[in-house]
Structure 1
Amino acid sequence: MKRIILLFVLLGTLQGFTQNFDLLIKNGKIIDGTGNSWYYGNIGIWNGKIYAIGKLEDARANRVLDAKGLVVAPGFIDVHAHIEGDEWDVPTADNFIYDGVTSVVTGNCGGSNIDIKSYFNRLDSIGMSLNVASLIGHNSVRREIMGDAQRDPKPDEQQKMELLVEQAMRDGAVGLSTGLIYVPGTYSKTPEVIGLGKAASKYNGVYASHIRNEGDHVTDAIEEAVNIGRQAGMPVQISHFKVTYKTNWGRSVSTVAQVDAARKEGIDVTMDQYPYIASSTTLDTTVPEWAFSGGRDSLYIRLDNPTLRTQIKKEMLESLKRKQLKDYSYAVIARYGPDDSYNGKSISEVNKLRGRKAKAEEEAETILELIKSGRVQMVYFSMNEDDIERIMKYPFTMTASDAGIAEFGKNMPHPRAYGTNARVLGKYVRERKVIGLEEAIRRMTSLPAQKFKFKDRGLLREGFVADIVVFDESEVADAATFENP
């Protein structure tokens, strides 16, 4: 991990220490990341590390930042990021930097680079602004060995997958991730994942899961994640913890209690959350999983079969009805390569633009046409503020964006790509007082550092790397909206 100092812009450090600090941050309101109360103090930084914290009355420095009236905190650690691919075009990762993030964990939801060592080498070569840790993704590993086959692995295939996981862990991966709603991970059974988990646990890896269901069957999905951790001997991180669709609103009472019960059993279960009522994933998730068996080419063949196409649409509409939704107006396009004029429009709006009637059946047909013409990234409005706040109050919930690197002014990404931490600090800490400021900072810093074993980050402590963020607690707020991210 590379060393950076962050003040919502990067501050370079100068070399050398002869009774001088490289940088002195003075008069700040220090929130050290432990969850303890703030205190006033000065921080002396030398050679990229925190050298001293205290009054430092006689300290001299090559650079001085007067943080009077401002909070000084550890740089934020985003444990659920998706930066694979975009980092080559935007190595500055400005959207993360502006949100106070200095470190990310990528490779989530089952998707990662297979060759972790080469991936880290490439990051070094482009001068990536963030500190980057990576999980090894189950979907990527499975596809490498089995393609998109809808079946259990043969014994030799299971062994090959486990060996890939072990190699990734030796090369520096911090754990195993799954995305059990995505092809091909959705075809896997629990024992397969436990086997891969055991391979990662040999190297003290974390099991991070986009669980199999976040709606009607969310409790079963949480239990599966907990059981994988239990059987594999791994800490568990449940990704973007939520309950989706109106039929399930309020179930966070039981799902949070479920996590708490697992912790009392002795299983290290934590979770992360982004503070928005909309999620973001691909349009593919509106289509029944069997339709993707064998991969996208197989899907396209099925869509050309009138009987199968009719069956796919029938199941899509049944799913819509179960969610108590009348149409697809809740689904908004974030990125559609073939026609960027669709970005920011709902499926219902796009359906109308294509000259179709305002009926769910017609909108389902529009969805299939869009999927066949390319991958479509979506925003789905499916959550409830009460659940968001209830989940946020749980002390083992981290704040994480579930975002990739976003270029300013391009596409219509979920606003979480720009404002996740600022939204928590502004809306939920200052305005709604859901949690306290010191506690919010702990969720963004030392809690994720402890979970992923980042030994010299996440706290303002002498000897730690000087990843630091400075902000005005009375003004910090998210500016990104769904209409104008």
Structure 2
Amino acid sequence: MLITGGRIVDGSGAPWYRADIAINDGKIVAIGDLAERPAKQTIDAGDRVVSPGFIDMMGGSTLPLLVDPDSALSKLHQGVTTLLVGELTTEAPHNDETFPAGLTVDGDQVKWRTYKEYFALLEQHKIPLNAVHNIGAAQVRLVVLGNEDRPPTDDELEQMKAIVAEAMEDGVFGLATSLIYPPATYASTHELVELARVAARYNGIYLTHMRNESFRVLEALEEAINIGKEARLPVHIYHLKAAGQENWALMQKALDRIALARRNGFDVTADVYPYIRNGIFLGSFFHPRHYAQGEDAFVASLSDPAVRANLRTETESTSDWENWYRHIGNNWDNALITKAVPAKNEVYVGLSVQEAADMAGVDPWQLVFDLLQESNSLWDVRVSPKSMNEEQKIQALRAPFVSIDSDASPVNPASVSSTHPRAFGTFPRVLAKYVRDEGVLTLEEGIRKMTSLPANRLRLFDRGRISPGMAADLVIFDPEKIQDKATFTEPLLYSEGIDYSIVNGIAVIEDGSYTGNEPGRVLRARH
């Protein structure tokens, strides 16, 4: 492949320059005045930007790539060529109790226990973009302890460490936590340090959705840094935020703390998504201890009016925990419903909890309890709280150690009724809103945050930059036309302006359309 006439933004942060790019066997082989070279395929970039493919630093799960392959288009139309996944529960490991019942791929029932088996399945079925995996500490807990809120015994902790070791040997990149959700929230700092030490033996990293993202964000950040220091491995903070209006000023303090750690020689980084509404499970509005006996027991307890009354009182009156009701100003109008089951409740999607309650003619608290009970799950009703502000987004985007994530799995708009718009719009939104329209970042710095910065964090040293010898993951786009289209009222719209997404030297998006090619790879860590 030969790409001619483009403005190369090489991912390093250096100013753009004009040159041609020659690709062979999945690698960039030459850069310069190459227009006369013979090629099987020549792409005239036509003064558009040519950049490294974007790396999504928290892309949910790769399971949709197996069960619903068209879901990959939500990423590819954003220019994402590499997806990092693994935060709470992860694709592996599994036992008979944790594996989803009746999971089918192409009509065949499948089952796996280890990452080695899962990676083989991904490769057998082929994927259109690259995938990088972490092992979730919560998944390890589920396999060994179930949903129990208790510390592991010494023998159980050794089992957990052995599971982490096996996953690292299979090629995962690090240990990940999501410490506001059960059962992850039940893990002590000591437990996490012990597991992280195993990852450190394999040159891994520790990635975390911290224990608190609001009034105790600085304490949570300190815990994350201390885990990294004690276990002797780098730390990465997923989707850094200061949630709740009274906590917005803490974002700059958190960024300053990370900068101080870096000045002192400790390797810690973070990422953000470009939206002031986050996305969480509706059940997260209640204290995690209520899920200590598992989600089935919690859902069953909602049949008792006294339980509902006590949950409401606690949530309205206490704040010594990650209380998302407080973060939305005790106002259900500030929480949009983005997913609801069963089908009869999909009518509420796109409405605030208050608007949905008004439609149903009930108190919003009753609607919340009813939605959870009717879904029969902690995970199947999702909301987007308005918990952040633009100032903290700008502060984070300008920090040199902050990369970009979507915090969303691949999504097929034909298969779901709604989602958070970040699933479709994250990367074009940064380039449209914060680079082109508002000038918060230069084009070169915006691209760096999507390419070489995350590549370096993941030690993908053959990706994230345009240079001879590097993997040919590339995107071509017009910086004046690139635009996210997904909104909270219409979240299932592909972004516009990515004309080409090239993965390992093969076009997956060509002239804005999917080619059907599946050149993606499972990228295994090199321990």
Identify the residue that residue 98 of structure 1 maps to in structure 2.
77
Total equivalences in the alignment? 458
Equivalent pair of 1:283/1:376 in contact (CA under 8 Å): yes
Identify the residue that residue 350 of structure 1 maps to in structure 2.
356
TM-score (norm: length of structure 2): 0.84
Identify the residue that residue 371 of structure 2 maps to in structure 1.
370
- CA-CA distance at 1:320 after TM superposition: 6.6
Amino acid at match of 2:199: A
How far apart, in 1, do the equivalents of 2:327 and 2:429 lie? 28
Equivalent pair of 1:178/1:210 in contact (CA under 8 Å): yes
How far apart, in 2, do the equivalents of 1:393 and 1:102 lie? 24
Identify the residue that residue 339 of structure 2 maps to in structure 1.
335
How far apart, in 1, do the equivalents of 2:227 and 2:37 lie? 52
The root-mean-square deviation of aligned C-alpha atoms, in Å, is 1.5
How far apart, in 2, do the equivalents of 1:118 and 1:284 lie? 32
- CA-CA distance at 1:162 after TM superposition: 0.7
How far apart, in 2, do the equivalents of 1:204 and 1:226 lie? 17
Identify the residue that residue 228 of structure 2 maps to in structure 1.
229
User: Aligned with 2:177: secondary structure?
Assistant: strand
Task: Please identify, of 300-309 and 150-159, the stretch whose mean Cα deviation from structure 2 is larger.
Answer: 300-309
Identify the residue that residue 199 of structure 2 maps to in structure 1.
200
User: Aligned with 1:61: secondary structure?
Assistant: coil
- CA-CA distance at 1:304 after TM superposition: 3.3
Which one of the candidate residues 399, 403, 407 is aligned to 1:402? 407
Relative distance call for 1:172 and 1:324 in structure 2 (3 A) is closer
Task: Please identify, of 344-353 and 181-190, the stretch whose mean Cα deviation from structure 2 is larger.
Answer: 344-353
User: Aligned with 1:36: secondary structure?
Assistant: coil
How far apart, in 2, do the equivalents of 1:170 and 1:348 lie? 49
For 1:63-462, list aligned pairs within 5 A: 63-92=41-70, 93-114=72-93, 115-318=114-317, 319=323, 322-323=326-327, 325-338=329-342, 339-356=345-362, 362-374=363-375, 375-408=380-413, 410-462=416-468
Equivalent pair of 2:404/2:449 in contact (CA under 8 Å): yes
Equivalent pair of 1:241/1:273 in contact (CA under 8 Å): yes
Identify the residue that residue 11 of structure 1 maps to in structure 2.
none
Deviations 1:74-111 (A, max 9, x none): 11111111124322233240010000000011112454
Equivalent pair of 2:90/2:136 in contact (CA under 8 Å): yes
- CA-CA distance at 1:379 after TM superposition: 1.4
How far apart, in 1, do the equivalents of 2:315 and 2:391 lie? 28
Identify the residue that residue 515 of structure 2 maps to in structure 1.
none
Relative distance call for 1:321 and 1:110 in structure 2 (3 A) is closer
- CA-CA distance at 1:113 after TM superposition: 2.1
Amino acid at match of 2:178: G
How far apart, in 2, do the equivalents of 1:87 and 1:247 lie? 40
Amino acid at match of 2:404: T
Equivalent pair of 1:148/1:294 in contact (CA under 8 Å): yes
Equivalent pair of 1:351/1:363 in contact (CA under 8 Å): yes
- CA-CA distance at 1:163 after TM superposition: 0.6
User: Aligned with 2:487: secondary structure?
Assistant: coil
- Give me the identity figure in percent: 37
Equivalent pair of 2:316/2:330 in contact (CA under 8 Å): no
- CA-CA distance at 1:57 after TM superposition: 4.4
Task: Please identify, of 101-110 and 131-140, the stretch whose mean Cα deviation from structure 2 is larger.
Answer: 101-110
Equivalent pair of 2:53/2:464 in contact (CA under 8 Å): yes
Amino acid at match of 1:308: V
- Structure 2: give runs of 5+ residues left out of the alignment: 94-113, 318-322, 492-527
How far apart, in 1, do the equivalents of 2:446 and 2:68 lie? 28
Identify the residue that residue 511 of structure 2 maps to in structure 1.
none
Relative distance call for 1:394 and 1:320 in structure 2 (3 A) is closer
